[in-house]
């Protein structure tokens, strides 16, 4: 320390002896050792312990599929992390593996800004593989807090839409189906979503790692009201003036022509209980589509309490469509009508 504190050292004024000690640690190291330990400015130290607090948080959120104690969920993969960063949701931390550091350049415009308030962490490839939920991880993950959505947020109509268009998942158990339905709904202009338990089963979390991957990040952009009671939700929709349509598996067998004829008779006779085809619905009014369990569909009492039932006519011999495929058919028709209506309202240029 005698050499460090010599008068010849050029030191800033008003620095304490303790400050001098830490200010000159780098100078005390040999040039060779300093070169080996050097890392780019702003780069965090490598996390090498499996018991590190941050790695435990990422492990719980990704491999465990559970929110952290503070409500953050895990997203993994460069595209999904990019969507999380663009979503406006709060980010707690970003984690790169050594090989995943190659994705830093792509994410740099979103994370290398002075106002960013979360840490960017690094760990080894081996430890990252141990906490990742995918078989071949890309080496980049983030902890993100999904947006909080109230019922008023859910039913609010954006300026870009002619009316609220909502999807309610009631008893959809497969996280892949939950994510795919949300992604499809968002692609065709849905303005929000909700999850609820049905009398048959609960609904998988839209924020589990598998559901987030299947939604391609749509679950972080859409307003989603999670964990509602289905009867209460239906009552609130009625009060808010939103029509509920129950996707139905119950349909009289027959050819497509016979089914269409049955629809026409039902409409003429004003039979509200007969299922409607997607093209018979006015999708330019506020609507919430109820999607039920993959195998059992919606409970019969839920179908009866809805404003109408909807069913996709199919060729004879085909029992039903996958829940996600059926939702895609219905939401495509909704988008077709809504886009056509908007085009007519806009008029010629």
| pLDDT exceeds 50 at position 254 | no
Q: Percent of the chain scored above 70 by pLDDT? A: 78
Reported as a single tens digit per residue, the pLDDT across 148-193 is: 999 999 999 988 888 999 999 999 999 999 999 999 999 999 999 9
State the Cα–Cα distance between residues 307 and 305, nearest whole angstrom: 7
**Higher-scoring residue by pLDDT: 176, 295:** 176
Mean pLDDT for the chain? Answer: 82
Q: For residues 94 and 142, is the Cβ–Cβ distance under 8 A?
A: yes
Q: What is the mean pLDDT of residues 291-315?
A: 89
Closest by CA position to 273, among listed 288, 263, 284, 285: 263
Structural domains present in the chain: 46-145 (3.30.1330.30), 151-346 (3.40.1280.10)
Hunting for tokens 């994510």 — which residue is that?
Answer: 179
- Residue 5: band (very low, low, confident or very high) from pLDDT cuts 50, 70, 90: very low
Query: C-alpha distances in angstroms, 47 versus 17, 299, 301?
Result: 31, 50, 54
Predicted local confidence at residue 156, as pLDDT: 93
Provide the residue count of the chain: 349
What is the Cα–Cα distance from 252 to 259, expressed in whole angstroms?
Answer: 8
Range picked from 89-98, 151-160, 192-201, 315-324 for highest mean pLDDT: 89-98
Tokens for 244, please give them.
């509920």
- Of 18-27, 77-86, 101-110, 319-328, the poorest mean pLDDT is in 18-27
More confident call, 267 vs 200: 200
Q: Reduce the secondary structure of the chain to three states and give it as a string.
A: CCCCCCCCCCCCCCCCHHHHHHHCHHHHCCHHHHHHHCCCCCCCCEECCCCCHHHHHHHHHHCCCCCCCCCCEEEECHHHHHHHHHCCCEEEEEEEECHHHHHHHHHHHHHCCCCCCCCEEEECHHHHHHHCCCCCCCCEEEEEECCCCCHHHHHCCCCCCCCCEEEEEECCCCHHHHHHHHHHHHHCCCCEEEEEECCCCCCCCCCCHHHHHHHCCHHHHCCEEEEEEHHHHHHHHHHCCCEEEEECCCCCCCCHHHHHHHHHHHHHHCCCCCCECHHHCCCCCCEEEEECECCCECCHHHHHHCCEEECCCCCCCCCCCCHHHHHHHHHHHHHHHHHHHHHHHHCCC
Is residue 21 scored above 60 in pLDDT?
no
What is the rounded average pLDDT of the residues 26-30?
37
In this prediction, residue 26 carries a pLDDT of 39
At residue 121, does pLDDT exceed 50?
yes
How confident is the model over 161-171, as pLDDT tens digits? Answer: 889 999 999 99
Judged on CB neighbours under 10 Å (0-12, 13-18, 19+), 148 is exposed
- How many CA atoms, within 13 angstroms, populate the side-chain half-sphere of residue 21? 4
How confident is residue 238, by pLDDT bands cut at 50, 70 and 90? very high
Q: What does pTM read for this prediction?
A: 0.78
């Amino acid at each position: 320390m005698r050499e460090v504190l010599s008068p010849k050292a050029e030191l800033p004024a008003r620095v304490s002896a303790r400050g001098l000690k830490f200010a000159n640690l780098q100078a005390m190291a040999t040039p060779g050792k300093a070169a080996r330990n050097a890392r780019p400015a702003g780069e965090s130290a490598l996390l090498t312990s499996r018991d590190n607090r941050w790695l435990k948080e990422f492990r719980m959120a990704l491999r465990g599929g559970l929110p952290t104690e503070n409500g953050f969920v895990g997203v993994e993969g460069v595209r999904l992390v990019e969507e999380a960063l663009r979503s406006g949701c709060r980010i707690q931390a970003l984690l790169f593996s050594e090989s995943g550091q190659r994705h830093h350049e792509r994410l740099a415009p979103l994370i290398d800004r002075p106002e960013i308030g979360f840490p960017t962490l690094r760990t080894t490839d081996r430890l990252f593989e141990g906490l990742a939920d995918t078989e071949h991880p890309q080496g980049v993950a983030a902890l993100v807090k999904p947006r909080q959505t109230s019922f008023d947020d859910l039913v609010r109509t954006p300026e870009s839409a002619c009316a609220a268009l909502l999807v309610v998942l009631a008893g959809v158990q497969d996280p892949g189906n939950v994510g795919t339905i949300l992604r499809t709904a968002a692609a065709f202009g849905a303005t929000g979503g909700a999850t609820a338990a049905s009398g048959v089963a609960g609904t998988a979390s839209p924020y589990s790692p598998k559901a987030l991957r299947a939604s391609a990040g749509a679950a972080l952009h859409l307003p989603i009201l999670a964990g509602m009671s289905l009867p209460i939700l239906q009552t609130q929709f009625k009060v808010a003036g939103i029509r509920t349509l129950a996707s139905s598996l119950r349909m009289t067998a027959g050819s497509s022509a016979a089914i269409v004829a049955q629809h026409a008779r039902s409409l003429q006779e004003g039979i509200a209980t007969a299922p409607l085809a997607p093209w018979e619905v006015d999708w330019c009014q506020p609507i919430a589509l109820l999607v039920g369990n993959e195998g059992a569909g919606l409970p019969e009492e839920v179908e009866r309490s809805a404003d109408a039932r909807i069913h996709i006519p199919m060729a004879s011999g085909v029992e039903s469509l996958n829940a996600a495929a059926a939702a895609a058919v219905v939401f495509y028709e909704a988008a077709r009508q809504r886009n056509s209506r908007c085009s007519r309202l806009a008029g010629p240029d």
